[in-house]
Chain A
Amino acid sequence: MKLKNVFLAYFLVSIAGLLYALVQLGQPCDCLPPLRAAAEQLRQKDLRISQLQAELRRPPPAPAQPPEPEALPTIYVVTPTYARLVQKAELVRLSQTLSLVPRLHWLLVEDAESPTPLVSGLLAASGLLFTHLVVLTPKAQRLREGEPGWVHPRGVEQRNKALDWLRGRGGAVGGEKDPPPPGTQGVVYFADDDNTYSRELFEEMRWTRGVSVWPVGLVGGLRFEGPQVRDGRVVGFHTAWEPNRPFPVDMAGFAVALPLLLAKPNAQFDSTAPRGHLESSLLSHLVDPKDLEPRAANCTRVLVWHTRTEKPKMKQEEQLQRQGRGSDPAIEV
C-alpha cells in the first residue's frame, strides 16, 4: 500500500469518526430519565423539608388544660452584676431573654455600696418581677486593675446575699421586698449577666425537686461541659479542666429547688474555695453527685452558653478625657 493512501484512509476515517462523535454529543443522551428522576427526587425532598420546617414553626397546639399560672413553680434567677462599660448592654439583653419566661422572679444583686440609678432604671423599665439587692465585695476579695478574672472568685457575696434574702433575712433595696412565703414551690438558678440562655432552659429546670444539672456550652476549654447520664442517672462528668472537683459543673449548669435551700439554712458559697470549686462549695452542702437530676434530654442538648463579652477599647475616650473633652456623662451607656 502506498503511503499516500495510508494517510488518506487514516484522514478519512478520523473525519468520519469525529463527525459521528459530534453528532452523538448534540443529541440528548438517554441518560436523561435517571437525571430527571434524580432532580425530581431532590425537589421532592426539599419541598418536604420546607413543609416540615413550616410545621415546626407553627405554634404547637395549646394543651387541653393549660396549667394555671399559680400552679407553675417560680424560677428565682440570681444575677450578680457590677459596674463596667458593658453592664447596661448585658443586663438589657439578659432582661429581654428573661421576659420570655413566665413565673420568673429576677434577683439582681449589685456589687456596690448603694443601688445605682442605671440598674434601678433598667429594672423598672424591664417589666419583670424583680428584687434589687446590693452588697459590696470586700476590698481583699476585689480584683485589682489588670488582674485576670480567676484570681478571686467573683460574685460570691452577691449570690450569698440573694440566698439570705430568699431565707427571709431581708436586705432588698428595690422591687419585691418580701421573701417567698414558706412552702413556695420554686427553683433557684444562678445566671451570670454575660452568659446566653435559651427559653427552653428555664422550662427544663422549673420542676426540679433537688438539684438538676445539664450541659453548658463553650466552657472549660471545651465545646461543652456536662454530666454523663446512663439510665436517667448522672454517672460521671464530661469535663477536661480539674476533673477532680466534687461537682465539675459551671455556675450556669445547675439549679436548686427552693425548699431544699430553705431546709439547709447554712448552705452558701465559700469565698475561700480554690479556683473552680465555687460551685462545689455550695452543692456539697445540698446533694450527692449521684442524686443529681439530669435535664435537657438526659444531658444531650446544650441550652446555655458561657459566652463572655470583650472589654470595649476606650483608647479614644481616654485621649479625649485627657484633653478635657470626654463624652457627656449624662448620656448613659
Chain B
Amino acid sequence: MKSVLFTRFFILLPWILIVIIMLDVDTRKPAPPLTPRPYFSPYAVGRGGARLPLRRGGPAHGTQKRNQSRPQPQPEQQLPTIYAITPTYSRPVQKAELTRLANTFRQVAQLHWILVEDAAARSELVSRFLARAGLPSTHLHVPTPRRYKRPGLPRATEQRNAGLAWLRQRHQHQRAQPGVLFFADDDNTYSLELFQEMRTTRKVSVWPVGLVGGRRYERPLVENGKVVGWYTGWRADRPFAIDMAGFAVSLQVILSNPKAVFKRRGSQPGMQESDFLKQITTVEELEPKANNCTKVLVWHTRTEKVNLANEPKYRLDTVKIEV
C-alpha cells in the first residue's frame, strides 16, 4: 500500500512543480526591458544650452571700463569651436571647482563644455549645476571600474574616452567644422589668453604648464618655431613629456584618427599623454603656442582635501543643503 502511495506521489511531483513554477512566472513583476534605452546609455546627451550673450574675452556687460576700445567682435559662426572635455567625480569640493571653472569658460566665445561624470548615472548636483551654468554644455557619465581606482593608476581614462566618443559620434555625419579639443581638469586654472592661443590649432599645439612636475613650470623647448625637446622635471625620456593641460588637438585630427583613445592596458603612470599623442601626431608636427612656449597661461593647481572632521555621523540638520 505504502509503495503505491509513494509511486503516485512521485508521479504527481513534477506536475505540481510545474504548476508552481508557472504560477510564479505569471505573477512575477516584469523584467527590465530588453531594448536599449537611449536616455541612459553612456553617450546620452543633454541639450546644449542656449547661447547667452557672451563677452569676447572682456569683463561683464555694464562694468565701468576706462579707456577700453572693444574690438569689433568676430561673427560667432566663423570662430572655431573649442571643446573642453572635463572629467569630474563626486567629492565635497566638486561643486566649487565646477563653479569657478564655469565662471572662466563663460567668458570664452564658442566654447562647448563636455562634462563627463565618473558615475553610473547623471547626478542631480551636476545636472542642476549645468542647467544654470549659462554656457553650451554636454553632460555625459561613465563609471570607472573599481579595479582601476587604485593609486598609481591613470585616472579619468574612461571619462576622457567617453568625451572623445561623443565628439566622434556627433560629427560622423557632418562635414567637420573647424574645432579644437582640449582636456580641462576641473581643478586647474586657465587664463583667457590660453583659449585665444589654442583656437588657431591646425593639428596639435602645445604650451607651457605652470606648477607641475615639481617645478615652477614645464614647457616644450622651441627652436625656429619647432619643438625640439622638453623642459620637464619628470621622466624627460617620454616621447611627449607634457601634462594633460599642455596641449590641444584640432577636431580634424581626432576625426581622422577614430581609434585614438586613452589606453589602460600596458600604460604606465604618467604615460597617458604620450600614449595618446603618439597615436595622432609626431613631435615635428607640434605647433608651439604662447609666444614660442615662453608664457605660462595655465596652472596645474590642486585643491586641498576638505576637512570635514566636525560633520556629525548622521545628518542632524532639518534641511538638506547642497554644497
Q: Does A153 contact B (CB under 8 A)?
A: no
Q: Does B11 contact A (CB under 8 A)?
A: yes
Chain A residues, CB < 8 A from B306: 218
Q: Does A29 contact B (CB under 8 A)?
A: yes
Contact A316 B233 (CB under 8 A): yes
Chain A residues, CB < 8 A from B107: 96, 99-100
Contact stretch, chosen from A274-282, A287-295, A304-312: A304-312
A72 to B99, CA, bound (A): 24
Chain B residue at minimum C-beta to C-beta distance from A198 = B99
Shortest A305–chain B CB gap in Å is: 4
Shortest A138–chain B CB gap in Å is: 28
Q: Does B145 contact A (CB under 8 A)?
A: no
Chain B residues, CB < 8 A from A97: 100, 103-104
Contact B321 A301 (CB under 8 A): yes
A54 to B136, CA, bound (A): 11
Q: Does B314 contact A (CB under 8 A)?
A: no
Chain A residues, CB < 8 A from B4: 1
A223 to B61, CA, bound (A): 34
Secondary structure dominating the interface of B: loop
Known: A6-B11, A309-B304. A221 touches B311 (CB 8 A): yes
A312 to B212, CA, bound (A): 8
Contact B214 A315 (CB under 8 A): yes
Contact B60 A316 (CB under 8 A): no
Chain B residues, CB < 8 A from A173: none
Please encode chain A, from 53 to 76, with 1 for each CB lying within 8 Å of some chain B CB and 0 for all others. 110111100000000010010000
Contact B30 A320 (CB under 8 A): no
Contact stretch, chosen from A33-41, A155-163, A255-263: A33-41
Shortest B92–chain A CB gap in Å is: 6
Which of B25, B39, B216, B299 is within 8 Å of A24, CB to CB?
Answer: B25
Residues 287-333 of A at the B interface (beta carbon under 8 Å):
300-302, 305, 307-310, 312-317, 320, 327, 331-333
Shortest B91–chain A CB gap in Å is: 10
Contact A53 B127 (CB under 8 A): yes
Which of B65, B103, B231 is within 8 Å of A127, CB to CB?
Answer: B65
Contact B214 A92 (CB under 8 A): no
Chain B residues, CB < 8 A from A197: 99-100
Contact A96 B192 (CB under 8 A): yes
Chain B residue at minimum C-beta to C-beta distance from A36 = B33
Contact A312 B302 (CB under 8 A): yes
Chain B residues, CB < 8 A from A39: 33, 35, 37
A332 to B208, CA, bound (A): 11
A129 to B63, CA, bound (A): 8
Chain A residue at minimum C-beta to C-beta distance from B70 = A127
Contact A86 B323 (CB under 8 A): no
Shortest B191–chain A CB gap in Å is: 5
Q: Does B152 contact A (CB under 8 A)?
A: no
A240 to B55, CA, bound (A): 42
Tally of A-B Cβ pairs under 8 angstroms: 244
Residues 225-269 of A at the B interface (beta carbon under 8 Å):
238, 240-241
Known: A10-B10, A196-B100, A333-B296. A102 touches B62 (CB 8 A): yes
A269 to B182, CA, bound (A): 45
Contact B60 A53 (CB under 8 A): no
Q: Does A89 contact B (CB under 8 A)?
A: yes
Q: Does B256 contact A (CB under 8 A)?
A: no
Contact stretch, chosen from B14-22, B82-90, B163-171, B277-285: B14-22
Contact stretch, chosen from A14-22, A109-117, A140-148, A182-190: A14-22
Chain A residues, CB < 8 A from B294: 331
Chain A residues, CB < 8 A from B131: 52-53, 56-57
Known: A1-B7, A300-B321, A308-B304. A196 touches B39 (CB 8 A): no
Q: Does B52 contact A (CB under 8 A)?
A: yes
Which of A50, A215, A240, A310 is within 8 Å of B304, CB to CB?
Answer: A310
30 A-B pairs within 8 Å (CB atoms) are namely: A9-B11, A31-B29, A43-B39, A50-B47, A53-B130, A57-B131, A59-B52, A69-B62, A89-B299, A96-B103, A96-B107, A99-B59, A102-B62, A103-B64, A197-B99, A199-B103, A217-B95, A218-B306, A222-B311, A240-B310, A240-B311, A307-B304, A309-B301, A309-B302, A312-B301, A320-B233, A331-B217, A331-B295, A331-B296, A332-B296
Which B residues are within 8 Å of any A CB, using their own CB? 4, 7, 10-11, 14-15, 17-18, 21-22, 25-26, 28-31, 33, 35, 37, 39, 46-47, 49-50, 52-53, 55, 58-66, 68, 92-93, 95-97, 99-100, 103-104, 106-107, 127, 130-132, 134, 189-192, 208, 210-217, 219, 231, 233-234, 294-296, 299-304, 306-311, 317, 319, 321-323
Q: Which 6 A-B pairs have the closest CB atoms?
A: A221-B310, A316-B233, A316-B214, A240-B310, A305-B96, A89-B299
